[in-house]
């Protein structure tokens, strides 16, 4: 069956696309709000950008191990709801006149952590949704939407900030995560219960995964390319 007629994949794809667009909008809207509403300088803008990206370095490895121990879709929904709650505090604080730069940094960092878990989840949940035979097509569609979000998201964020203001753009971004969570919640696919090896620690599984990636002739250059491109 073509994935264009696969109900659960279309819901997963829609949720992932909306989530990525929202993330790209917030990457622009938060710094714009810091500059226009709080008068943030170059050092503060750099700190805010670092907070948005730091989660991938801080929790990337443990997130992968932890997501192998749970049903991913539930975590993805929880991360969408968490990002909505975090980002919604920003426009509320701005409208109440109590927004601070510290709040923006904390929100950016915690939302980044939620994004790491969501991204790991949607990449890992795909096989249980479409099966091995459709993995190539599914990954291609998910990757195309991710690339499209990275290209269009900043422009959309800038347009929204100009049209309705940076604070309202952040609120619209927050609402996009509720849309994503709703799409994921409507999926009917039941994920298999994760098989965990008794006695294996988080550190041991992280080390095993890292050794495997570094020792694989294809995964090693992919990891190096991804890591350097994110610097």
Q: What is the CATH number of the domain that holds 50?
A: 1.20.1250.20
Q: What is the pLDDT of residue 184?
A: 92
- If asked whether residues 112 and 174 sit together in one domain, one would say yes
Stated as kind and residue range, the H or E segment containing 200 is none
- If asked whether residues 56 and 170 sit together in one domain, one would say yes
**Average pLDDT value over all residues in the chain:** 84
Domain with 215 in it: 200-231
Q: Which residue has the higher pLDDT, 5 or 93?
A: 93
- If asked whether residues 128 and 186 sit together in one domain, one would say yes
- If asked whether residues 57 and 134 sit together in one domain, one would say yes
In a domain, 195, yes or no: no
- If asked whether residues 10 and 47 sit together in one domain, one would say yes
For residue 46, report the phi and psi dihedrals to the nearest 5 degrees: -65, -40
- If asked whether residues 43 and 111 sit together in one domain, one would say yes
Q: Are 12 and 184 in contact (CB under 8 A)?
A: yes
- If asked whether residues 186 and 209 sit together in one domain, one would say no
- Asked whether residue 192 carries a pLDDT value surpassing 80, the answer given is no
Number of domains in the chain: 2
Nearest to 119 by CA among 180, 30, 210: 180
- Asked whether residue 164 carries a pLDDT value surpassing 70, the answer given is yes
Q: What is the pLDDT of residue 1?
A: 54
> What distance in Å separates the CA atoms of residue 210 and residue 208, rounded to the nearest whole number?
5
Q: Are 21 and 149 in contact (CB under 8 A)?
A: yes
To the nearest 5 percent, what fractions of the chain are helix, strand and coil? 85, 0, 15
- If asked whether residues 93 and 174 sit together in one domain, one would say yes
Q: What is the pLDDT of residue 101?
A: 94
In a domain, 27, yes or no: yes
Task: Give residue for tokens 């347009």.
Answer: 159
Q: Are 107 and 93 in contact (CB under 8 A)?
A: no
Q: What is the pLDDT of residue 77?
A: 93
Reported as a pLDDT band with limits 50, 70 and 90, residue 87 is very high
Q: What is the pLDDT of residue 230?
A: 57
In a domain, 113, yes or no: yes
Quote the pTM value. Answer: 0.86
Reported as a pLDDT band with limits 50, 70 and 90, residue 186 is very high
> What distance in Å separates the CA atoms of residue 146 and residue 93, rounded to the nearest whole number?
30
- If asked whether residues 161 and 54 sit together in one domain, one would say yes
In a domain, 99, yes or no: yes
- If asked whether residues 76 and 124 sit together in one domain, one would say yes
In a domain, 80, yes or no: yes
In a domain, 22, yes or no: yes
Dump pLDDT digits (tens) for 122-138: 878 888 888 888 888 88
For residue 201, report the phi and psi dihedrals to the nearest 5 degrees: -85, 165
- If asked whether residues 156 and 210 sit together in one domain, one would say no
Residue 99: how many CB atoms within 10 A of its CB?
A: 20
- Asked whether residue 43 carries a pLDDT value surpassing 70, the answer given is yes
In a domain, 66, yes or no: yes
In a domain, 204, yes or no: yes
Highest mean pLDDT among 65-74, 81-90, 156-165: 81-90
Q: Which residue has the higher pLDDT, 21 or 101?
A: 101
Dump pLDDT digits (tens) for 136-155: 888 888 888 888 888 887 78
- If asked whether residues 55 and 145 sit together in one domain, one would say yes
Reported residue count of the chain is 231
Q: Which residue has the higher pLDDT, 226 or 194?
A: 194
């Amino acid at each position: 069956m073509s994935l264009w007629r696969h109900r659960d994949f279309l819901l997963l794809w829609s949720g992932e696309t909306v989530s990525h667009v929202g993330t790209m909008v917030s990457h622009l809207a938060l710094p714009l709000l810091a500059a226009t509403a709080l008068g943030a300088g170059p050092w503060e803008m750099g700190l805010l950008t670092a907070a948005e990206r730091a989660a991938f370095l801080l929790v990337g490895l443990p997130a992968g191990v932890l997501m192998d121990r749970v049903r991913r879709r539930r975590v993805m929904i929880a991360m969408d709801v968490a990002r909505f709650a975090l980002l919604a505090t920003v426009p509320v604080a701005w409208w109440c006149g109590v927004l601070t730069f510290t709040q923006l940094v904390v929100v950016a960092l915690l939302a980044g952590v939620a994004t790491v878990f969501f991204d790991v989840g949607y990449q890992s949940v795909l096989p249980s949704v479409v099966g091995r035979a459709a993995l190539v097509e599914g990954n291609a569609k998910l990757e195309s939407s991710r690339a499209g979000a990275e290209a269009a998201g900043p422009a959309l964020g800038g347009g929204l900030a100009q049209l309705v203001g940076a604070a309202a753009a952040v609120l619209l971004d927050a609402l996009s995560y509720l849309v994503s969570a709703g799409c994921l919640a409507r999926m009917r696919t039941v994920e298999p219960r994760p098989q965990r090896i008794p006695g294996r620690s988080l550190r041991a599984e992280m080390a095993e995964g890292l050794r495997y990636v570094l020792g694989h002739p294809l995964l090693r250059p992919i990891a190096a390319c991804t890591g350097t491109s994110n610097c």
